[in-house]
């Protein structure tokens, strides 16, 4: 596709369940970023990938959060034992290399609601 | 620690009026600077960016921003606001990390309301 896609667009889950959020970056983009946007908050950086490795995981809020990227393409953000405070919009972005000025392209987000 | 501050959470302007959204950053060097817009139910769209050179940068939709090193600011402006500009605006800094990629820090956003 032409842009970054994310699935599902909406996810409602019960507290304590695990969820997986998927991001499909723009083809050829080597960098991939996950952010969380809570109501009334800015974008909170979670993790980014360069290829399949994650040089910076500093933003993951707890060990319930993990992410992986395989084949240098699709990434999955997993939240285990979800809590109500995990409710937010999870945004994915990707950027390419070759230019010194990497512009991020954002997906539409996954709205997660934990009941 | 690096940070981005958008002091105005909400701004309301009348259609046709001028607009200025403030952004201040804290960083040891001159970072890469960005403004994004997020319309309701939409993803983030890049309005403009500054890396070096001319401190006044032009973006899409008639927006411009001026980098002022002495004030660590990168304020977004538009001379005449349109109703379709109602959205949330985010300022961001890009910090170069390893492997030639960048970590981005976003401000908390300014929500713009436009009165007819």
pLDDT at A1: 53
- Three-state DSSP at A35 gives strand
Residues in contact with B100: Cβ distance below 8 Å, sequence separation at least 6, in sequence order: A50, A97, A102
pLDDT at A48 exceeding the cut of 50: yes
pLDDT at B47 exceeding the cut of 80: yes
Quickly count: other Cβ atoms within 10 Å of residue A96's Cβ: 17
pLDDT at A10: 96
pLDDT at B29 exceeding the cut of 70: yes
Q: Is residue B1 classed exposed, middle or buried when 0-12, 13-18 and 19+ CB atoms within 10 A define those classes? A: exposed
pLDDT in tens, A87-108: 999 999 998 765 545 688 899 9
B:4-63 residues touching chain A, CB 8 A cutoff: 4, 6, 32, 34, 36, 42-46, 49, 51
pLDDT at A100: 45
Residues in contact with B69: Cβ distance below 8 Å, sequence separation at least 6, in sequence order: B30, B55
Task: Answer left, alpha or beta for residue A108, where phi above 0 means left and psi between -120 and 50 means alpha.
Answer: alpha
Q: Report the sign of the C-alpha dihedral through residues B47, A90, A42, B94, in that order.
A: negative
State yes or no: cis peptide before A8, omega within 30 of 0.
yes
Q: Which residue has the tokens 């259609």?
A: B15
Which residues from chain B sit within 8 angstroms of residue A43, using beta carbons?
44, 90, 92, 106
Q: What's the CA gap between A6 and A74, in Å, rounded?
A: 10
**Quick one: pLDDT band at residue A58, thresholds 50, 70, 90?**
confident
Instruction: Give mean pLDDT, residues A10-17.
Output: 97
């Amino acid at each position: 596709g032409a842009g970054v896609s994310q699935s599902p667009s909406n996810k409602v889950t019960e507290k304590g369940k695990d969820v997986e959020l998927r991001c499909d970056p723009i083809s050829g983009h080597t960098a991939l970023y996950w952010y969380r946007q809570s109501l009334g908050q800015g974008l909170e950086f979670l993790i980014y990938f360069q290829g399949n490795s994650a040089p910076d995981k500093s933003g993951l809020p707890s060990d319930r959060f993990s992410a992986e990227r395989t084949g240098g393409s699709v990434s999955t953000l997993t939240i285990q034992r979800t809590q109500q405070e995990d409710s937010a919009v999870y945004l994915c972005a990707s950027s390419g290399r070759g230019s010194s000025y990497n512009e991020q392209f954002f997906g539409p987000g996954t709205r997660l609601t934990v009941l | 620690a690096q940070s981005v501050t958008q002091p105005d959470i909400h701004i309301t302007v009348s259609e046709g009026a001028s607009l200025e959204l403030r952004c201040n950053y804290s960083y040891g060097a001159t970072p890469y600077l960005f403004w994004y817009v997020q319309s309701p139910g939409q993803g983030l769209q890049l309005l403009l960016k500054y890396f070096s050179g001319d401190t006044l940068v032009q973006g899409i939709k008639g927006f411009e921003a001026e980098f002022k090193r002495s004030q660590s600011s990168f304020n977004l402006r538009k001379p005449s606001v349109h109703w379709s500009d109602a959205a949330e605006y985010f300022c961001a800094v890009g910090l170069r990390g390893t492997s030639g990629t960048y970590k981005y820090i976003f401000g908390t956003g300014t929500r713009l309301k436009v009165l007819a």
